[in-house]
Amino acid sequence: MRTTHGNTPGSGQAAIAEPKLGIPGRVRACLFDLDGVLTETAAVHAKAWQRVFDAFLSERARASGKPFVPFDVVRDYDLYVDGKPRDDGTRAMLGSRGINLPEGSADDPPTAATVHALGERKNAIFLELLRKDGVQPYPGSVRYVQAVRRAGLRTAVVSSSKNCRDVLLAAGIADLFDARVDGITADEQQLRGKPAPDTYLAAARALATATPREAAVFEDALAGVEAGRAGKFGFVVGVDRVGQTDALRRHGADVVVTDLATLMEAR
C-alpha cells in the first residue's frame, strides 16, 4: 500500500462532510479515480490505445483479407479498456473483435502478438505522449479535493495505472492524497481490477478512517462505477467527460456531474 503524507486536515476527530460538498453527511473519506476524474489523461490513454490497436488490427485485416475496423476512441475505449488493468483491457478489446491471443510474458519482444506485448506497446506510447505533451489536472477537481480536505475528510487516489505516481507528480497534485492504490499495488497485493471493488476496498483500508459505507467513490469509467457499487460504498459519483451520463447511472452512479466543482453548488 502506498501512502502519502501531505497536509492531512483534522486532528483525529470524526469528519462530517459539509453540505456544500454535495455528498452525504456520513461520508468521511473520498476515493478518486485518476484518469478522467483528476487529470486530463483519459484522452492520452485513448490515443495510445488507438495507435496500438489500429496498427495491430490493420495488419491482421491485411493478412486475413477482412475489412479493417479501426479502434473507436469513444465507444471502444469506454466499453473495453477504460479503468481496467492494462492486460484486462487488451483482452476485452480483442475479445470484442473475436480475437484470442496468447497471454505472453515480460520476455516478449515488443512486436509479439500477445496480450502482454500489446499492453506494453500501449504503455510505451502513453509515456511518450506524456513526456511530449505533459498532463494537466482538471481545475474543478483540484478545487473539489481541496474543499474535501478542508472539511476534514481523508482522500485517496485509486487507479489501475502503474504510472499513477508519475502522473500525480507531473500534474502537481500528489500532496492532495493521503493514500494511493495503483496498478503496482494491485500486483503486489493480488487485487482484482475494476469492475471488481478490490482496489477501492484497499484504499478504504489504507485510510483506516471509514468503512465502505462511509466512503464516496468518484469515477468516470463504467467499470469504476460498477466497482464502487459492488463494494457497497456509501455514495458513487459518476463524472461524465464524454457524454455517457445515462450509462454511468445504469452502471451504478448515485449522481452524475460533468465537473466535480458542480458538486459544491448542489443544494
Residue 239's pLDDT is 97
Q: Which of 33, 82, 182, 240 is catalytic?
A: 33
Residue 22's pLDDT is 95
Residue 119's pLDDT is 92
Report the alpha-carbon distance of residue 248 to residue 174 in Å, rounded.
Answer: 27
The helix/strand/coil state of 25 is: coil
pTM: 0.77
Query: Residue type at 72?
Result: D
Report the alpha-carbon distance of residue 101 to residue 206 in Å, rounded.
Answer: 36
Residue 7's pLDDT is 40
Q: Which of 35, 76, 78, 108 is catalytic?
A: 35
For β-strands 235-239 and 154-158, DSSP reports them as unpaired
Residue 149's pLDDT is 96
Residue 165's pLDDT is 93
- Cα Rg, the chain, nearest whole Å: 19
Matching CATH number, 42-133, of 1.25.10, 3.40.50, 3.40.720, 1.10.150: 1.10.150
Residue 178's pLDDT is 98
Question: Does the annotation count 35 as an active-site position?
Answer: yes
What lies within 8 Å, CB to CB, of 70 at 6+ separation is 50, 53, 54, 57, 58
Q: Where are the domains of the chain?
A: 2-41+136-265, 42-133
CATH class of 2-41+136-265: alpha beta
**Per-residue pLDDT for the chain (267 aa), expressed as one digit of tens each?**
554 444 443 333 344 445 589 999 999 999 999 999 999 888 888 999 999 999 999 999 999 999 999 999 989 998 999 888 889 999 999 999 999 999 999 899 988 999 999 999 998 998 898 888 888 999 999 999 999 999 999 999 999 988 999 899 989 999 999 999 999 999 999 999 999 999 999 999 999 888 999 999 999 999 999 999 999 999 999 999 989 999 999 999 999 999 999 999 865
Residue 16's pLDDT is 46
Residue 133's pLDDT is 84
Residue-wise pLDDT tens digits, 130-174: 888 888 999 999 999 999 999 999 999 999 988 999 899 989 999
